[in-house]
Structure 1
Amino acid sequence: MKRRLKDIIEINDSLGSKIFAISIQVLILISIVTFTLETEPSLEPRTRTVLRIIETFSVIIFTFEYILRIYVADNKPKFVFSFFGIIDLFAILPFYLSFGIDLRSLRALRLLRLFRVLKLVRYNRALNHFILAIKSAKEQILLFLFITLILIYFSAVGIYFFENEVQPEHFSSIFNSLWWAIVTLTTVGYGDVYPITVGGKIFTFIILLIGLGIVAIPTGIISSALTKSVDQPPEE
């Protein structure tokens, strides 16, 4: 029985596995549509009841899927703490937490339902290559993030000393200057806060040039890792 279940649940070329995979993917899409419709303020009570029934049914199926995947896993702890194991758990967690917590007052927990979108990664080879690329380049990405945090702090300190005296309402402290540093380094530049001193403008120009490189570096890292991962089988 365990072998038969494993053959159905795990992705392979058998008919049972294909039917199971398609069914789960369809249910994920229905669940995502339901989650989206629930945000409509003008829904009738009857419609909301139907959506809740669909949500409950989806969670029950996802829960059984999660339990069965643990049951057929060769290394159960490894699956539970794996990428897909955590995704499967977070996809159903908000529903069960709602019995003890009012999710209307804790909206962050409702966002965990978005992890159901990530469940689709399991059934998409292209996305699996992307996950594999992220794993293979994680050291470079972590190094990039560390350097980026240092540059953000450096930018906040620099603009604070240039603009604090003339714009104390925008650059009252280094902490308040962090917002400017983030949007400038990422080249978003909302325009709500900008320098007016000569020194501040020159400093901003330098930071903008650095920001262009900040945007390009992770693209190059992930592109290189993706190229290498194409020739490797995706990890389950």
Structure 2
Amino acid sequence: MKRLQYFLYQILRVEEGPSRGLSFYFDVVLMSLILLNVLAIVLESVDSIYTPYKPWFQAFDLLSIVFFSAEYLLRVWTITCDPRYSHPVWGRLRYMFSFMALVDLLAILPFYVEGIVHLLGGARALGIDMRFLRILRVFRIVRLLKVVRYVSALRIIGNVFRSKKEELIISLVFILFILLIVSCMMYFVEHEAQPDQFSSIPATMWWGVATLTTVGYGDIYPITPMGKALGGVIAILGIGLFALPAGILAAGCADELQHHHRRQAAAGKECPHCGRPFDEH
């Protein structure tokens, strides 16, 4: 049993490097199925396509659920082969609450919740709002997040967010602080001239978001001279304000890419001088 568990663990783990073992082909099949699921979700919104082929869409969804459910259960069973989750109980529980395990669970959970609701007599009989079930169907798009496990670039971006989270939180708080200030100022300047548009500070914050992000929808805008002058200053301020988190992420990406190349070079997979894989030399 241990040998079978380890064999399956090796297949389920993400294949790295140029090897073409069973793990590589499993990754290809899983990635293809994920992308086909996303395509199916998109095409289901087109009535002229979904209505005549509804049984095919449902059959494909059922096939995907069986595959993803088996994958999830096998990952939970074999994860104890990973030294980080070696304990048979606590190790599995820790893994089940990891990000990727939660993504795997959310990818299949809507199907089972809908099935249980229908078995118990339907949403109306249980007093469940039908909008809840429709939202659950939207959650199928979470299957796309399963791709994160197989795309190293997305893992690098995730590392950037983790390493720069303090700076990003500080910049976000600063942006919210500026948004509150400019919304309060614009409310007191424009409220008397446009009581319907700038009816309250929360209502004015919608204008503040559109202006600071330089989107400018045009549904709400100042008409007084002071309001126009203030709006122009705020729009210019917004250009530099939202460059702050962008600069933090750019610096984080540069640092993470350097660390990534160093790790690859230390592992003997990349040339330490040019950063290209050795097999491309």
Same fold (TM over 0.5): yes
Please name the residue that 1:92 is paired with. 108
> Stretches of 4+ moved more than 6 A in 1?
none
Residue 131 of structure 2 corresponds to residue 105 of structure 1: yes
Please name the residue that 1:150 is paired with. 177
Residues paired across the two proteins, number: 234
Please name the residue that 1:169 is paired with. 196
In the TM superposition, residue 214 of structure 1 has moved relative to its aligned partner by 2.4
> Which amino acid letter does the alignment assign opposite residue 8 of structure 1?
I
In the TM superposition, residue 4 of structure 1 has moved relative to its aligned partner by 0.8
Please name the residue that 1:79 is paired with. 95
In structure 2, C-alpha distance between the alignment counterparts of 1:206 and 1:130, rounded to whole Å = 33
Q: Which structure has the larger Rg? A: 2
In structure 1, C-alpha distance between the alignment counterparts of 2:103 and 2:185, rounded to whole Å = 41
In the TM superposition, residue 216 of structure 1 has moved relative to its aligned partner by 0.9
Identity value in percent: 33
Of residues 2, 5, 13, the one that matches 1:10 is: 13
Answer with 72-81 or 32-41: which moved more: 72-81
State the TM-score, normalizing by the size of structure 2.
0.78
The higher relative CO (CA closer than 8 Å, separation ≥ 6) is in 1
State the TM-score, normalizing by the size of structure 1.
0.92
Answer with 22-31 or 36-45: which moved more: 36-45
Answer with 74-83 or 160-169: which moved more: 74-83
CA distance 1:214–1:77, shift in 2 (3 Å): farther
The answer on whether the counterparts of 1:31 and 1:55 sit within 8 Å (CA) in structure 2 is yes
In structure 2, C-alpha distance between the alignment counterparts of 1:194 and 1:202, rounded to whole Å = 12
> Which amino acid letter does the alignment assign opposite residue 202 of structure 1?
A
Please name the residue that 1:129 is paired with. 156
The answer on whether the counterparts of 1:185 and 1:208 sit within 8 Å (CA) in structure 2 is yes
The answer on whether the counterparts of 1:2 and 1:72 sit within 8 Å (CA) in structure 2 is yes
Give the secondary-structure state (helix, strand or coil) at the position aligned to 2:47. coil
CA distance 1:214–1:56, shift in 2 (3 Å): farther
Give the secondary-structure state (helix, strand or coil) at the position aligned to 1:199. helix
- Name structure 2 gaps, 5 residues minimum: 80-84, 86-90, 124-128, 265-281
Please name the residue that 1:51 is paired with. 57
| Superposition RMSD in Å | 1.9
In structure 1, C-alpha distance between the alignment counterparts of 2:174 and 2:135, rounded to whole Å = 29
Residue 220 of structure 2 corresponds to residue 193 of structure 1: yes
